[in-house]
Amino acid sequence: MMYHSQTKRIEPAMRPALTIVMLTVSTSCLAASPSFTIDTTRSAGKVSPLHHGLMTEEINHSYDGGLYAELIRNRAFLDDTNSPVFWSPLTSELAAVTIALDPANRVNDKLPSSLRLTVTQATKEHPAGVANTGYWGIPVYPKTPYRASLWARAEAGLSGPLIVSIVSEDGRTVYATGKISGITSQWKKFKVTLQTGNVAPTAQARFAVTLEQPGTVNLGLVSLFPPTWYNRPNGLRKDIMQLLVDLNPKFLRFPGGNYLEGNKIEERFPWQKTLGPLEERPGHPCNWGYRSSDGMGLLEFLEWCEDMNAEPVLAVYAGYSLGQDHVKAGPDLEPFVQEALDEIEYVIGDTNTTWGARRAKDGHPAPFKLTYVEIGNEDYFEQAKTYDARYAQFHDAIKSKYPQLKLISTIADAKLNGRKPDMVDLHDYSATDEFLKKSVNFGNDMSRSGPEIFVGEWAAHEDASARPWDAAAQKLPPTPSMKAAIGDGVFMAAMERNSDIIKMQCYAPLLVNVNPWARQWRPNLIGYDALSAYGSPSYYAIQMFSQNLGDEILPVTFTNTSVQGSATRDSKTGEIIVKLVNPELTPQSLPIEIKGITSLNPKATVITLAGNPDDTNSNNHPRKVVPVTTTLTGIKPGFTFTLPAHSIVVLKLKP
C-alpha cells in the first residue's frame, strides 16, 4: 500500500485578485478596542446553494462495517484466498465440522469461491456449523426483523434444514433464529427473516449457520441486513444516515479520493462490476488495506444522494493510480475515456441508451441530476506529470457528448493543454493554528472570473505532523477534538465569506469505524461501532454552518480581535446570520456594528458550541460537546456580544 504526505498545498488562484471581503486581524495591538462590522448596504455576492456537501470513499470501513448496513463480513468468501477469514467452525464435544474455501463449487462465474461445511457429527441438541463475527460484532437490537439470505447447495444425503441464527458470542443465547429447508444439489438462493425479542442491545453476537445432522453443504454470498434507511433492500444504516441528513448536504462527492484511483490501474473503482444483484459483485481490493464488497455500487451511491436530497459530484477514473501507474494520453487512454462516458450515461442517459437501459433494469428508470464531473483525484501527486494531456482528452470527449456538464480539474494551476476547467478542486488538511492564520485572508484573492472553486477535502488536524496511518495514531481518538473544530470553524467562515466563488466544499474523511485497526486515517467526522454512531465537535460545527447558510454574503470587518467569522443574509426572511469563532481560552467581548439598518428584533437566537481544546465526543459520550440554542435579548444594530471561551457561535438576527 502506498501512502503520501497528508499536508496539502492550497493551489494559488489562477487569475487576478478581486478582494471582496475586508477582514483584518492585528495580533500586535489586541489591547486596542476590538470591533466587528457587518455592512448590509453592500452585497459581497451570492452564497452558492451547493456550498455544503459531503465527500465519501471506502476508507476506515466507511461502507463495509459502516454506512452500508450489511452485517456479514467476507460474505462472498473472497477476502482471503487461503482461508475463510471472519468465519469459524461451531463445534462442541458432541458436534464436529470442518470448513474450507471451495473455489471448485461456485455460485456463478462472478463469485469464484464458496464455503464448504463438512459436518461429521451433529444432532438437534448439539448442532455443528459456522459462525461469522461481522464487523466487530453483529449488532442485536430489540424487537427487530433482520433479513438473512444465502446461496446453498448440498451433497447427496443431506435432507435436513439449515438453521440460521443470531447468537451470543458464547453461543448460550439465541437472539433470533430461522430455518432453511429444501436444499438440493443445485445452487439456490434462500431468504429468511430473523426476529429478535425484547432483548438488551448488544454487539457481542455472531451470525450462525448450523446443521442438526451430518452432511456436506456449500454456502455462497451470505447476507444479513437490519432495517435500513427508507427500508431499501441493499440499504444504509439508519443512525449514520440520520447524522448525514442532519448536515443538510447539497452534494455528495464520490467514489473518492484515493478509492477512485486504487493503488493500481486494475484496482480503480470498478463501477460496472458494482451493478446488479449482490451475487454478481465480486468486490475488489481497496487501497486502504482491505477488500471492498462493492455492496455500495454506483447505483447505491446515486440513491444515497437521492435519499439526502443531494446531487452527485461524480469523480471518474482518469488514468492515474496512487501507486504511480498511469495511462498515456492518446489511444491507450481511449478505453478509460469510454468507461467514463459510459458511467455518465448510466447516471443521466435516457432509457434508450445502453447504460440508461441498464440503470432502468437495475430499478431506476429516471435519470439522476448531474452537474459536475471530476476528472481524477489529486493528480498533482503523479510523478510523471501527465495530467494536462489526460485531462484534455477527457474534457474533449465529455464536453462533446455532454456540453451541459461542468468539469472539475484536480490541479488548480495546470495548463491542461489549453482546456479551461469549469471548476478546480483544492484539498487542505492543516493544523488548527495554520487554519487560524491562513483563514484570515483565505479566498479573498481568488479570481471571480473563474474557474469556480471546490474545496473537495479539508479538515483541521490537531497535529498535522502525526501521520494518520501510523500505529501510534491508532491510540489517538478517531474523531476530532474541540481544538480541531475551532480550526474547522475559521476555515468554514473564510469559505463562506467567499462562497460566491467557493461553490462547493466538504470535510474529509467523513466516516470512521472506531474499533481498533478499523481505521487508516484521523481525524474523521463521524464515528461508530456496530451498535451506535456519534458526531464529533467538528460535525456539529459543520451542522451549525450548513443549517444556517443564508443566500447573500455580507461584507465583514474585524479589528483588534482574534475572533474570526462571517455574515450572510437570508433574502426571503431578511434574517442576518452571523458566525463567530473565538479561538481564545477566555471569553471575548465583541462590539458588533451593523451598518445600513436602523432597527432589529430585540430577540435573537444564539447557537453555541464551546468546550476545552481536548474535549471530544465518543460512542460512550456522544453528546459531551454539542450546540446549545438560547435566546438573547436587547439586540439592536449596535450591541456587544460576549463569545464564550473557545467557542463557535451562530447569531440569528431577525429584522
Chain contacts with ligand AHR (rule: CB under 6 A): 57, 59, 256-258, 377-378, 457, 508-509, 521
Q: Which residues share a beta bridge with 311?
A: 251
- Joined together, the cell numbers standing for residue 339 give 468507461
> Shortest Cβ distance from residue 256 to ligand AHR (Å)?
6
Please choose, from the candidates 172, 371, 333, the residue with its C-alpha nearest in 3D space to the C-alpha of residue 253: 371
- Joined together, the cell numbers standing for residue 363 give 430499478
Cβ–Cβ under 8 Å, residues 453 and 432: no
> Shortest Cβ distance from residue 579 to ligand AHR (Å)?
25
Point out the residue whose Cβ comes nearest to ligand AHR. Answer: 257
Q: At 224, which helix (H) or strand (E)?
A: strand 215-225
Report the 10 Å Cβ neighbour count for 107: 24
Cβ–Cβ under 8 Å, residues 44 and 497: yes
Nearer to ligand AHR, 283 or 509 (CB): 509
> Shortest Cβ distance from residue 457 to ligand AHR (Å)?
5
In whole angstroms, what is the distance from residue 223 CA to residue 151 CA?
A: 9
Nearer to ligand AHR, 458 or 639 (CB): 458
> Shortest Cβ distance from residue 57 to ligand AHR (Å)?
6
Nearer to ligand AHR, 55 or 344 (CB): 55
Nearer to ligand AHR, 434 or 615 (CB): 434
Please choose, from the candidates 372, 278, 378, 369, the residue with its C-alpha nearest in 3D space to the C-alpha of residue 320: 378
> Shortest Cβ distance from residue 261 to ligand AHR (Å)?
8
- DSSP letter string, 180-213: E----SS-EEEEEEEE--SPPPBS-EEEEEEESS
Nearer to ligand AHR, 141 or 381 (CB): 381
Nearer to ligand AHR, 90 or 510 (CB): 510
> Shortest Cβ distance from residue 14 to ligand AHR (Å)?
21
Nearer to ligand AHR, 256 or 295 (CB): 256
Please choose, from the candidates 483, 382, 499, 506, the residue with its C-alpha nearest in 3D space to the C-alpha of residue 436: 483
Nearer to ligand AHR, 62 or 566 (CB): 62
C-alpha distance from residue 317 to each of 159, 301, 304, 327, 369 (Å): 49, 16, 20, 11, 20
In whole angstroms, what is the distance from residue 460 CA to residue 442 CA?
A: 15
> Shortest Cβ distance from residue 377 to ligand AHR (Å)?
5
Q: Give the angle 646-445-548 at the CA atoms, nearest 5°.
A: 45
Nearer to ligand AHR, 378 or 575 (CB): 378
In whole angstroms, what is the distance from residue 69 CA to residue 296 CA?
A: 10
Nearer to ligand AHR, 47 or 484 (CB): 484
Cβ–Cβ under 8 Å, residues 480 and 35: no
- Taking the CA atoms of the chain, what radius of gyration do you get in angstroms? 27
> Shortest Cβ distance from residue 395 to ligand AHR (Å)?
21
Please choose, from the candidates 22, 52, 27, the residue with its C-alpha nearest in 3D space to the C-alpha of residue 37: 22
- Joined together, the cell numbers standing for residue 521 give 486515517
- Joined together, the cell numbers standing for residue 308 give 439526502
> Shortest Cβ distance from residue 583 to ligand AHR (Å)?
24
In whole angstroms, what is the distance from residue 138 CA to residue 224 CA?
A: 9
Nearer to ligand AHR, 55 or 533 (CB): 55
> Shortest Cβ distance from residue 327 to ligand AHR (Å)?
19
Report the 10 Å Cβ neighbour count for 195: 13
In whole angstroms, what is the distance from residue 162 CA to residue 165 CA?
A: 10
> Shortest Cβ distance from residue 509 to ligand AHR (Å)?
5
